[in-house]
């Protein structure tokens, strides 16, 4: 059950807390890319590429619980990471690519 603040005249209001007063944890993401061009005969060449996203496997935590109900134990508690696995900023991801240019 939500406890909604209502003034004496029955008009709903949110209170006097300023906007963005509750801040979540910071975001950190370090990416690395290595590229090697190998020349073949004529104008042809091969490009080898290694890309690593979130090199240090930094956990980016989600926002804390914002529901402030009477007796709520989830207010201000972080229960998940910011992004699910596979999205940008999630767990470390490595990809290798070979490109032939001619």
**CB-facing half-sphere around the CA of 22: CA atoms within 13 A:** 12
Q: What does the alpha-carbon distance between residue 79 and residue 67 come to, in Å, rounded to a whole number?
A: 13
Question: What's the pLDDT at 4?
Answer: 52
pTM check: above 0.75? no
Residue 67 lies in a domain: yes
| Extended strands (E) in 1-102 | 32-39, 45-53, 93-101
End-to-end alpha carbon distance in the chain = 66
The residue segments making up the domain with residue 94 are 32-101
Residue 95 lies in a domain: yes
Question: Does the pLDDT at position 14 exceed 70?
Answer: no
In tens, the pLDDT along 16-39 reads: 777 777 677 888 888 999 999 999
For the chain, what is the mean pLDDT?
A: 79
Residue 7 lies in a domain: no
Residue 85 lies in a domain: yes
- How many domains, the chain? 1
Q: Are strands 32-39 and 45-53 parallel, antiparallel or unpaired?
A: antiparallel
């Amino acid at each position: 059950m939500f406890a909604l603040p209502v003034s004496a005249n029955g008009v709903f209001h949110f209170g006097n807390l300023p906007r963005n007063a509750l801040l979540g944890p910071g975001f950190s993401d370090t990416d690395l890319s290595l590229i090697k061009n190998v020349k073949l005969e004529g104008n042809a060449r091969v490009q080898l590429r290694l890309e690593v996203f979130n090199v240090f496997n930094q956990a980016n935590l989600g926002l804390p619980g914002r529901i402030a109900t009477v007796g709520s134990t989830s207010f201000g508690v972080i229960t998940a990471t910011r992004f699910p696995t596979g999205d940008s900023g999630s767990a470390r991801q490595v990809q290798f690519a070979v490109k032939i240019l001619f």
